[in-house]
Structure 1
Amino acid sequence: MSTPALAPQRPRTRISWLRVLVVLVCTVAVSWGGYRTVSAAVTQLDEPDPAVFAAYVDVTAWPPYPFETPSGPEEANVVLSFVVADPERGCAPSWGGYYSLDEAASEIELDRRVSQLRLTGGQARVSFGGQLGTELGTACTDTEDLVDAYQEVIDRYELTSIDLDLEGATLQDVEGSERRAEAIRQIQEEAAAADESLAVWLTLPVAPTGLTAEGLAAVTTMLAAGVDVAGVNGMTMDFGVVTSESAPLSDVVVEASKALHGQVRAAFADAGQSLSENDAWAKVGITPMIGQSDVATEVFTVEDAEVVNQFAQDVAVGQVAMWSLNRDSTCTAPLPTVLTVVQTSCSGIDQGASRFAEVLSADLASRPAVPAPESAPSASPAVVPAPSTGPAGEVVDDPETSPFPIWDPLGTYPGGTKIVWQKQVYQARYWTSGVTPGAAGAGGDAPWTLVGPVLPGDTPAPLPTLPEGTYPAWDPEEPYTAGTRVLLDGVPYEAKWWSQGQEPGTPVQGGSPWVLIHPGA
């Protein structure tokens, strides 16, 4: 006998509070994740740009720093310093009061070197002012004259960014500050009308509490005049503190930078330009003085540089700089390694194998703060023409447009001699002969240093001369053998091989039998 079938019943649902809790947690998590995704897409959170590294170069210091041939990306963006008023011509720009712009082109090859830097992919800014000399805003008592003075420099070097280093007596000159602000506003407006731009950084002294009252006034004056201020660069140096391993200078630099950040944000807000915290940091620059500072008790070490670099990354400052590339090495004999007196060509501390530029720029952008213009080439010294080529594709040098004699493989060249080879200007580091410019000599050491390209408008430099009677005058009827020396119009030449009737200095097919004698050869 079987058990009779029962009518089916609805199964009873049993609630698991644990499962309910899991479902609720998952629902909240999914909802929060979706909210975060949508919120990020809608609000587009402000992501700061990486900081830019730019190192100052003292253009008038000796020995000259070869910024035109950067050793690495940390040297690709330089700030050339300083343009001040010419002490003899008042409202006229000069480099350090030593060179007019034309003199800088001829005596320190500045136009050519800037062009060479740009050929490597680097960029140059110019800094006006500095600790010494008279800033143009003070020297030029007429605003239009001041506009012309600034514009002359901007045009000459085709600048898209400048630095105004305002310190000392310059900050005390209220009228000069107002003229400077008005002039810069006009220059920026004219640039904008031409579909160009000019970024303007203000470099000012700071204390641990931030800008001085005069420095803050300089910022507010610029903003009140309508100047588009790219950023405020704090000179985080010369605080007058005593540094040690337990009290490193980097602590003071960070403290001063934080104070500067607050002042910048407040100053822009007062001018009607509200900045987020990130935006305000993007308008802050940090510039330490590497090694021994002007204060005997104050030293900025490589370890300090590491701390400042990490801080700059953490807050994404607009710019990290340093004073200066000229000083980024350990002092060598006859100077001692460690000094308490500032040197222009070394840091005054034992850096070992480290370089401040590499440490401060690590993981920062070395790109220019403002892209170079993409306009058509102009006739300014910064624009380099395409080299002429011969039948075999080789570059042909023209003595009529070469600023120095064309290199001759049989010539002898004392140290310091400048020549042209394949549309490039080279300078001999020491006495050399037979080594092609750009090639390594005996032992792998290159005797030639690249200065920069031949520029539009270049003309031959005056040839060296010697007193009449130093060598016999060249005679077209006289046969000459190799090694014979003669004078033609006071210019000395040496015979490379036998010749007769071939005038020295005159190009001929197959090469001249004469080579120019350079002073000291």
Structure 2
Amino acid sequence: MRRSRLAAIGLAAATFAATAVSLVLGASSATAALSRNWYAAAPYLMPQSNNPPDPVTVMNATGLKAFQLAFILAPNGGGCSPTWDGTDPITTDTTVAAAIARIRGAGGDISVSVGGYGGTKLGQTCGTVAATAAAYQQVVTKYQLKAIDFDLEEPEYENSAAIANELGAAKTLQASNPGLFVSVTMPGTAAGTGWFGTQLLDQAKAIGFTPDNFSIMPFDGGFNGGSSQVSALEAFHGLLMSHLGWDSATAYAHEGFSGMNGKSDAAEMFYTADFQTVYDYATGHGLGRFTFWSVNRDRACVGTTDNGVCSNVPQNDWDFTRFSVRFAGATPPQTTPPVTTTTSPGGGSCTAPEWDRTKVYVKDDVVAHHGHQWTAKWWTQGEEPGTTGEWGVWQDNGAC
């Protein structure tokens, strides 16, 4: 998954405060595994950067029970020891462990994703299958994982030795940890996946490795909405049959979708309607996984258009996460948006409609906000009146 390399934006102290390792792992070890469909539906969450939301807030609002925490990498300076984002060794981690304990304490669980877009992957640095597997086993053991995701992307994706290490390690973990849910995620193209993806499938077959699913990421490749993603998934279904020798039903059951909500890195736009299109295809054909990048981005942009922390499309908070809940077989809680009445300091009422952060406004549109009336100077979405100064998009017309 592509992701902004933001410096970690501090998490609320009550949410992700460092906790004694013994306390954190004690809480983790008492948690039973969820049903496997939750791990198949777990959306990605960066727990240390990209302005992470409080996971329990997301769980309470949506009914979600599982997150895919990202990413485990090799150390930036080299070596074969697992770290978070290439900088924080898991051996000394308490911050992510505390987040995991918090999720599990609320009745949920996590999977951990290894690899991703950018950074140095353990398959590149560990040298052998056994060394790569031993490094990942540290992650499984420390966090007592019931699920793990191998997100195999550039530049590792194009390195046959590194991919052999990753797939061999995945097979080893699967055998050493009975019941471990293992997913493999790779880039998607209009043809399903590219040449390196088909080589990956061939390598998996050659070593006798069958994960719970192979998932493609149909974005950042000239895609245009949900219908183009469905077409790519159907093409990938054909590749699973031809390269792995599976029948149609087996291929669908081991196929997964890993999307990107909102504006992609390549400026493709994926709206909730597009997710609905892919969701209908996935559930109608019995696909084995439905996930997306990322929960950090599952909110409308307010005061920023940073693609790492918001979706850049009209939405309510966690609208895309609710698709994950439905795919897992649960019903998201129903919420009623609060009714806002704007009043002036003098007790009167504004007659213009209240500003809505999810709505697109154009020049001369008028809204009310915080007891003032505002006129848009040009196209805007998510920019809150009164926060952008005199040179911003909103002209303050005074109290109303």
Query: Kindly tell me: are residues 286 and 93 of structure 1, through their superposed partners in 2, closer, same or farther at Cα, counting changes over 3 Å?
Result: same
Please tell me whether residue 124 in structure 1 is matched to residue 100 in structure 2: no
Query: Kindly tell me: are residues 156 and 363 of structure 1, through their superposed partners in 2, closer, same or farther at Cα, counting changes over 3 Å?
Result: closer
Q: Give me the identity figure in percent.
A: 26
The TM-score normalised by the length of structure 1 is 0.53
Q: Which runs of 5+ in 2 are unaligned?
A: 1-36, 332-400
| The one of 64, 69, 74 aligned to 2:52 | 64
State the match for 1:351 in structure 2: 315
For residue 211 of structure 1, give the secondary structure of its aligned residue in structure 2: coil
Q: Which runs of 5+ in 1 are unaligned?
A: 1-48, 244-248, 368-521
- 1:91-110 map, 5 Å: 91-105=80-94, 109-110=95-96
Give the C-alpha shift of residue 72 in structure 1.
Answer: 4.3
- 1:28-427 map, 5 Å: 52-68=40-56, 70-72=59-61, 74-105=63-94, 109-191=95-177, 196-241=178-223, 243=224, 249-269=225-245, 274-275=246-247, 277-296=248-267, 298-333=268-303, 335=304, 339=305, 343-352=307-316, 355-359=319-323, 361-362=325-326, 364-365=328-329
Bigger RCO of structures 1 and 2 (CA < 8 A, at least 6 apart) = 2
Query: Kindly tell me: are residues 61 and 354 of structure 1, through their superposed partners in 2, closer, same or farther at Cα, counting changes over 3 Å?
Result: closer
Task: Please identify, of 210-219 and 346-355, the stretch whose mean Cα deviation from structure 2 is larger.
Answer: 346-355
Q: Indicate if the aligned counterparts of 1:51 and 1:312 stay in contact, CA closer than 8 A.
A: no
The TM-score normalised by the length of structure 2 is 0.68
Give the C-alpha shift of residue 353 in structure 1.
Answer: 6.3
CA–CA distance in structure 1, aligned partners of residues 309 and 317 of structure 2: 16
CA–CA distance in structure 2, aligned partners of residues 319 and 268 of structure 1: 18
Q: Indicate if the aligned counterparts of 1:50 and 1:313 stay in contact, CA closer than 8 A.
A: no
Give the C-alpha shift of residue 283 in structure 1.
Answer: 0.8
Query: Kindly tell me: are residues 310 and 96 of structure 1, through their superposed partners in 2, closer, same or farther at Cα, counting changes over 3 Å?
Result: same
CA–CA distance in structure 1, aligned partners of residues 151 and 330 of structure 2: 21
Q: Indicate if the aligned counterparts of 1:55 and 1:357 stay in contact, CA closer than 8 A.
A: yes
> Larger Cα Rg: Structure 1 or Structure 2?
1
Q: Indicate if the aligned counterparts of 2:290 and 2:327 stay in contact, CA closer than 8 A.
A: no
For residue 232 of structure 1, give the secondary structure of its aligned residue in structure 2: strand
For residue 167 of structure 1, give the secondary structure of its aligned residue in structure 2: coil
For 2:254, the aligned partner's letter is K
Query: Kindly tell me: are residues 366 and 224 of structure 1, through their superposed partners in 2, closer, same or farther at Cα, counting changes over 3 Å?
Result: farther
**Once the two structures are superposed, what CA deviation does each residue of 1:258-306 show, in whole Å capped at 9, x if it has no partner?**
111111122221xxxx43x22221111111111110112x100111122
For residue 176 of structure 1, give the secondary structure of its aligned residue in structure 2: helix
Query: Kindly tell me: are residues 177 and 349 of structure 1, through their superposed partners in 2, closer, same or farther at Cα, counting changes over 3 Å?
Result: same
Q: Indicate if the aligned counterparts of 1:292 and 1:299 stay in contact, CA closer than 8 A.
A: yes
CA–CA distance in structure 1, aligned partners of residues 288 and 327 of structure 2: 14
Q: Indicate if the aligned counterparts of 2:39 and 2:147 stay in contact, CA closer than 8 A.
A: no
CA–CA distance in structure 2, aligned partners of residues 354 and 117 of structure 1: 17
The structure in which a higher percent of residues are helix is 2
Give the C-alpha shift of residue 131 in structure 1.
Answer: 0.4
Give the C-alpha shift of residue 183 in structure 1.
Answer: 2.6
Give the C-alpha shift of residue 204 in structure 1.
Answer: 0.5
Query: Kindly tell me: are residues 83 and 173 of structure 1, through their superposed partners in 2, closer, same or farther at Cα, counting changes over 3 Å?
Result: same
CA–CA distance in structure 2, aligned partners of residues 146 and 50 of structure 1: 27
CA–CA distance in structure 1, aligned partners of residues 91 and 292 of structure 2: 28
CA–CA distance in structure 1, aligned partners of residues 272 and 230 of structure 2: 15
CA–CA distance in structure 2, aligned partners of residues 184 and 148 of structure 1: 11
Q: Indicate if the aligned counterparts of 2:118 and 2:155 stay in contact, CA closer than 8 A.
A: no
CA–CA distance in structure 2, aligned partners of residues 352 and 95 of structure 1: 30
For 1:365, the aligned partner's letter is G
State the match for 1:414 in structure 2: none
CA–CA distance in structure 1, aligned partners of residues 105 and 324 of structure 2: 24
Q: Indicate if the aligned counterparts of 1:206 and 1:212 stay in contact, CA closer than 8 A.
A: yes
- 1:427-442 map, 5 Å: none
Q: Indicate if the aligned counterparts of 1:313 and 1:364 stay in contact, CA closer than 8 A.
A: no
